[in-house]
Amino acid sequence: MMKIVTIPCLQDNFAYLLICEKTQHAAIVDPSEAIPVQKAVQQHGVRLTAILNTHHHWDHVNGNQVLKANFPELKIFGHESDRGRIPEQTEFLKNGDSVRFGEQSGTFLHNPGHTSGAVTYVFGKTAFTGDTLFAAGCGRLFEGTPAQMYDSLNLQIGGLPDETELYFGHEYTEANLRFALSVESGNAEIQNKLTAVTELRSSGKFSTPTTLAEERRTNPFMRCSSAEIHASVKSKEPGHNLSEKEIFRTLRELKNKF
Ligand code: ZN
Ligand code: FE
């Protein structure tokens, strides 16, 4: 069995400590900072053997160097195209590679869009999406096209089973749900989730993880076939071509300005 511990870092980042309960070996997803990760490792009495970086951005890899200095056996995973961009990287993932620590074995999806080397790590019915998918949102397109991000969300992550739990990189859920409502105000599930998440946040709790089923119902970037979203986009850009990828591109632009 694998246990997951959420570690809030920086302003609104999440690192996740994955513990192989049989061996007490552990992996850390996106250590933005070393200190809170080291505290959690001590607290849980585990042996940290791997870092899983979802992409090269500073707020996801900033703890790598200190952790590698303190735990020299660490394997540091990232996409092969992030060579030179992920500090201390030792494992360069390419299609078909597996990701192991303790007795856990996972896979990865290559998700270009937010960055060209962005990946999602998948362990059974659990996935770590970094800044590709957020609850009710997606990352900004720094190095990819809207079409790539559409595929990353809808075909790659969207190809996982409905019950998959999605652990994302930032606590942006409330703002994302507000944007989702602005383009699909008739979607009661979005309103209900916004009420629930607002309550959760005001009591100091976090909204991670979500599930793929929930995202299909509330994430506008996975709802590009919704009639109401089409109507919203069309009212903002009359004469809009209504292909799903064009809807996606427009949604991403509207979100940038929201
Ligand atoms: Zn990022
Ligand atoms: Fe980030």
Q: Which domains does the chain have, with CATH numbers?
A: 2-168 (3.60.15.10), 173-257 (no CATH)
Is the predicted pLDDT of residue 242 greater than 90, yes or no?
no
Q: How many CB atoms lie within 10 A of CB 172?
A: 18
Nearest ligand to the CA atom of 13 = 2
Lookup: tokens for 19? 């513990």
| Across 169-197, average pLDDT | 98
pLDDT in tens, 86-114: 999 999 999 999 999 999 999 999 999 99
Q: How far is the CA of 237 from the centre of ligand 2 (A)?
A: 30
pLDDT in tens, 127-157: 999 999 999 999 999 999 999 999 999 999 9
Q: pLDDT at position 131, please?
A: 98
- The residues carrying an active-site annotation are 55, 57, 59-60, 114, 131, 170
Lookup: tokens for 98? 């597996």
Return the DSSP state at 170: B
| Across 204-229, average pLDDT | 97
Q: How far is the CA of 12 from the centre of ligand 1 (A)?
A: 12
- Gap between the Cα atoms of 253 and 140, Å rounded: 9
Q: How far is the CA of 95 from the centre of ligand 1 (A)?
A: 22
Percent of the chain with pLDDT over 70: 100
Q: How far is the CA of 39 from the centre of ligand 1 (A)?
A: 24
Residue 7: strand, helix, or coil: strand
Evaluate whether 99 touches 77 at the Cβ level (below 8 Å).
Answer: yes
- Gap between the Cα atoms of 42 and 38, Å rounded: 6
